[in-house]
Structure 1
Amino acid sequence: MNRPRQTNSTYNAHFLSHFFFCWQVRLLIKKRQNKFNEEDVVLSAKEHKSKRLGNKIENLWNSEEKSSKNPSLTRVLVKMFGFKVILYGILYCPADLAVCLLPPMFLRNLLDYFTPRQSSITKEDALFDGFIITLMFFLRALSFNIFLLKLTCLGMQFRIACSSLIYRKLLKMKSTTIQKISLGHIVNLLSNDVERFDRAVIYWNFLWIGPLKIVIAAYYLFITYGYTSIVGMLVPVLCLLIQLFHFKTLFALRLKVASKADSRIRILSDIINGIRSIKMFTWEKPFAKLVENARKEEMSEITKANFCRISSYACLDCYQKLSVFLCILIAVLNNESLTPQYVFALLIIYDTLRRTSQLWSSALINNSELMASLRRLQHFLLLDYEKSHIMSTLLEQSPAPVGTFVSKSEYQMNNDDQTFGVSLSNVTAKWDPKLSKSSLTDVTVTATSGKLVAVVGVAGGGKSTLLQVMLKEIPISSGNLGVTGSLSYAPQEPWVFPGTLRENIVFGEKMDNRKFQEVIKVCCLEHDISRFAYGDNTLVGEKGVERRTKSKSFFGESHLQRCRCVPFG
């Protein structure tokens, strides 16, 4: 019997436990002793729940679509997470600046203590200076790790929210739109594009902390040691300019890499779906060559992107040494004396700025890739929006009556017949709003509940279009559509998902054994199910095939489809 999972460890942790990461000690000890198992996995935090984040971002995205002519996913994410990102940056910035400026100040006093024939600094003052220097670096390590943990969790929330929004968009997307999207594109969005948030969010605040830190450090050096100490600032400024150039280059390369990856995944998906035919006709080598060429094109763009990253990081390796060398060179040329206080202060400050520039460089690189991913995610989310926007524009320009969906309450106010099922009045609709010719023109149909209505016509006459209009999968350009009650629809393409027969029939609804048996009887499946050793608990695959060692049985997808079109529950 499965035990209930434990509450998240962070809920009961106090401030010091969070500050020193003591809430992780129990897990680390169990892992060290090889006693960590599934029962020790705690529940996820409330703020990381997919349902909570998905509901919030979906509401914000729907509001963005209604209120803006050009909806932006970036604006939605800023509204949802912007305050937290800025708050973490504001809290971390003073600690980072203190670590940059305070150690050189106290180090200068500490070195003055060792100057011969000085009496202004006592031994106690020197010990205090050493203690402050040590404390600053200790606090920086703690504050940086806490800051990193919070932003890592926040990046995970970005990823979960966007993934949930993509799933919900897929479930609500029109069938005509889904047909235009490849499986590889969706897989790439969920596996590569949303993953960019995990690496980019933790560096966002360094985009403004880095330049601010360089300006404040330059001002401190100028006030304390004169203009010769800020000559080395030419190196970080030059590095920033190089990073900005790489930022634009990586943005373009990321789009190309994503496009090539979509193409490769689409080819692999098609090969896997048709692997039987490929093996039958011995087409392995031609298709292997096709995949190899697609991968070569993708790797070519990845190599270019990696070259930009390497060159960006290479510029920072000689950062500190070159900056200090320039400062000392100018000081010697001006016949200024070199003191330990001057040299060690330069070493500490420029070493701190080097680490800051590395973080700033990582922020630009990861942010350039994230911007490309955001563009792809936004384009996916706006697929149906663009279509509906075109339809709205056409309706505004058309003198014909605007098509509306009549709800049950509205219909009952205007009609006495309460047994109404589906009614279309002078409906005109088309699959693509850009087409001039309509698939349905002035169609009027009434189908009352409790009656069997058949629609007969030639191929391409609009039978499927009529059903799609009733399901609101195709927008109507004129006329009225009224639907009272719920609809049960059995599509022309039957399918099953991996699971038992019962799970495929119940299809997520609450199990009612009496109703279940009634549905089985109505659909004439009692004999078919009795042939299986495990009855309705028999596992079926994507093609409705169930295999056993003694026999091979076939349970068609259309059989299950008949059950689903019977209202269950």
Structure 2
Amino acid sequence: MRALLVTMIYNKSLTLSCQSKQGHTSGEVINFMSVDADRIGVFSWYIHDLWMVALQISLALLILYKSLGLASIAAFVATIVVMLANVPLGSLQEKYQDKLMDSKDIRMKATSEILRNMRILKLQGWEMKFLAKITELRKTEKGWLKKFVYTSAMTTFVFWGAPTFVSVATFGTCMLMGIPLESGKILSALATFRILQEPIYNLQDTISMIAQTKVSVDRISSFLRLDDLQSDVVERLPRGSSDKAIEVVDGNFSWDLSAPNATLKNINLTVLHGMRVAVCGTVGSGKSTLLSCILGEVPKKSGILKVCGTKAYVAQSPWIQSGKIEDNILFGQEMDRERYEKVLESCCLKKDVEVLSFGDQTVIGERGINLSGGQKQRIQIARALYQDADIYLFDDPFSAVDAHTGSHLFKEACLAN
């Protein structure tokens, strides 16, 4: 169930419309996968507890009724009292646990920031001041931890004291009603009380898990009901079926379909296979939006948009995966050494690879943190070129490179491909 939910959420995130993406950040989507999907999967451990608790208590009370007669009513009332005592304790425990985790997060965040900027603290002589801040945060955390532990101790007391309380109430009722207590009845009743202990204790956890799972189900279902990208924005033609790579006829596109004015109006564009087309304009004139329209990411109000063949896209901001340089360029394709070397040469990456200690096997950090902006941009261009697509869409690919490198990229990468 968990694997299925993660797959559904991932597939949904790939097809979300632009308006749906505005309301859900990537961190929220990760929480859907890691927390909510896992919680629903864990609920399978508790799914039978509700009817099992009812069955166990019913059978236990039936056994008591056979042994002790009407005194079993006292056992039933005592069981209800113990169950009700678990409700506020469980709520308090959950509340204190949340507060404890929040205070722990605040303390860990402050500690990591202090350690990360220790040089500044040493130079300014602020060690004792920040030590006092950490101590204060630790006191707050310690206070919530103390409350949580005390509540846990009370819950444990109720758990271990439940059989004694129920047995005292039951046997006391037997004495008041004059029911004879024989050794066989007493031992049978004590064993039954022990059986009652586990469902009484687990009931609160089950109810809490049901509430948490319902919240997770509602969150995931609301996410899966969000609007997707329009499937009919782009009419995709098979490779070689037309001499036109891109054709737009009277196209009107808008990021927000409810807006009265379209973002791009009356677009008419025809690009033949093999053509090199440059779209120029001022900042905010819609150049990137035009490329997004061709990719099918902008909703279409009217018109015709046809694309023939495969596409490769280079975004304005470099997108780099954590991993090896070679993996970022191949991007799941098989290694063709001749084409790979040609792509490295076209993108001026030969010298960069030679300088690195492990060449193209060098592992780059999160989002290419140990690469310069120009290197990340050139790796992104190399990835697109290696795909050997029919249509290449470049969104300001030379913004992060110098003039000499940009000229080489334009001649060797753009014109040659």
TM-score, reference length from structure 2: 0.71
- 1:520 corresponding residue in structure 2: 344
- Alpha-carbon offset, residue 486 of structure 1: 1.0
SS in 2 for 1:556: helix
- 2:273 corresponding residue in structure 1: 449
Among candidates 392, 399, 418, match of residue 242 of structure 2: 418
Cα distance in structure 2, aligned partners of 1:245 and 1:363:
14
CA gap 1:482/1:347 in 2 versus in 1, 3 angstroms: same
2:160 counterpart letter in structure 1: D
Once the two structures are overlaid, the 10-residue window that deviates more, 340-349 or 537-546, is: 537-546
- 2:236 corresponding residue in structure 1: 407
Cα distance in structure 2, aligned partners of 1:233 and 1:339:
21
The answer to whether the 8 Å contact 1:250/1:365 transfers is no
Aligned pair count reads 380
- Alpha-carbon offset, residue 316 of structure 1: 3.2
Cα distance in structure 2, aligned partners of 1:302 and 1:187:
29
- 1:398 corresponding residue in structure 2: none
Once the two structures are overlaid, the 10-residue window that deviates more, 463-472 or 423-432, is: 423-432
CA gap 1:559/1:387 in 2 versus in 1, 3 angstroms: same
- Alpha-carbon offset, residue 244 of structure 1: 6.3
- Alpha-carbon offset, residue 369 of structure 1: 2.7
- Alpha-carbon offset, residue 338 of structure 1: 1.5
CA gap 1:404/1:538 in 2 versus in 1, 3 angstroms: closer
- Alpha-carbon offset, residue 335 of structure 1: 2.1
- 2:200 corresponding residue in structure 1: 357
The answer to whether the 8 Å contact 1:313/1:358 transfers is no
CA gap 1:558/1:446 in 2 versus in 1, 3 angstroms: same
CA gap 1:511/1:517 in 2 versus in 1, 3 angstroms: same
Q: Which ranges of structure 2 fall in alignment gaps of 5 or more residues?
A: 389-417
Aligned residue runs from structure 1 range 476-487, under 5 A: 476-487=300-311
Once the two structures are overlaid, the 10-residue window that deviates more, 488-497 or 186-195, is: 186-195
SS in 2 for 1:468: helix
Among candidates 501, 506, 509, match of residue 333 of structure 2: 509
The answer to whether the 8 Å contact 2:78/2:169 transfers is no
CA gap 1:240/1:448 in 2 versus in 1, 3 angstroms: farther
- Alpha-carbon offset, residue 200 of structure 1: 3.5
The answer to whether the 8 Å contact 1:431/1:474 transfers is yes
Deviations 1:361-393 (A, max 9, x none): 3222333333333333444x33xx4244xx99x
- 1:372 corresponding residue in structure 2: 215
Cα distance in structure 2, aligned partners of 1:296 and 1:511:
57
SS in 2 for 1:407: strand
Among candidates 327, 331, 335, match of residue 170 of structure 2: 327
The answer to whether the 8 Å contact 2:78/2:165 transfers is yes
Cα distance in structure 1, aligned partners of 2:292 and 2:349:
28
Cα distance in structure 2, aligned partners of 1:476 and 1:330:
78
- Alpha-carbon offset, residue 487 of structure 1: 0.7
Among candidates 382, 393, 397, match of residue 563 of structure 1: 382
- Alpha-carbon offset, residue 528 of structure 1: 4.2
- Alpha-carbon offset, residue 247 of structure 1: 7.9
Aligned residue runs from structure 1 range 40-119, under 5 A: none
- 1:345 corresponding residue in structure 2: 188
1:556 counterpart letter in structure 2: Q
Cα distance in structure 2, aligned partners of 1:290 and 1:487:
55
CA gap 1:250/1:342 in 2 versus in 1, 3 angstroms: same
2:39 counterpart letter in structure 1: R
Once the two structures are overlaid, the 10-residue window that deviates more, 362-371 or 328-337, is: 362-371
The answer to whether the 8 Å contact 2:322/2:367 transfers is no
2:180 counterpart letter in structure 1: S
Deviations 1:375-414 (A, max 9, x none): 33444x33xx4244xx99xxxxxxxxx96432326x99xx
SS in 1 for 2:252: strand
Aligned residue runs from structure 1 range 210-249, under 5 A: 210-241=53-84
Cα distance in structure 1, aligned partners of 2:205 and 2:377:
54
- Alpha-carbon offset, residue 353 of structure 1: 1.0
- 2:298 corresponding residue in structure 1: 474
2:235 counterpart letter in structure 1: V
Q: Percent identity?
A: 22
- Whether 2:342 is the aligned partner of 1:499: answer no
1:458 counterpart letter in structure 2: T
TM-score, reference length from structure 1: 0.54
The answer to whether the 8 Å contact 2:63/2:192 transfers is no
Cα distance in structure 2, aligned partners of 1:357 and 1:491:
59
Root-mean-square deviation (CA), in Å? 4.8
The answer to whether the 8 Å contact 1:406/1:481 transfers is yes
- Whether 2:226 is the aligned partner of 1:386: answer yes
1:324 counterpart letter in structure 2: S
- Alpha-carbon offset, residue 195 of structure 1: 4.0
CA gap 1:503/1:403 in 2 versus in 1, 3 angstroms: closer
SS in 2 for 1:504: helix
2:226 counterpart letter in structure 1: E
- Alpha-carbon offset, residue 349 of structure 1: 0.7
Q: Which ranges of structure 1 fall in alignment gaps of 5 or more residues?
A: 1-157, 393-401, 548-552
SS in 2 for 1:488: strand
- 1:42 corresponding residue in structure 2: none
CA gap 1:488/1:303 in 2 versus in 1, 3 angstroms: farther
CA gap 1:369/1:307 in 2 versus in 1, 3 angstroms: farther
- Alpha-carbon offset, residue 188 of structure 1: 4.2
SS in 2 for 1:318: helix
- Alpha-carbon offset, residue 319 of structure 1: 1.6
The answer to whether the 8 Å contact 1:430/1:439 transfers is yes
Query: Which of the pair has the greater relative contact order for Cα pairs under 8 Å at 6+ separation?
Result: 2
- Alpha-carbon offset, residue 250 of structure 1: 8.7
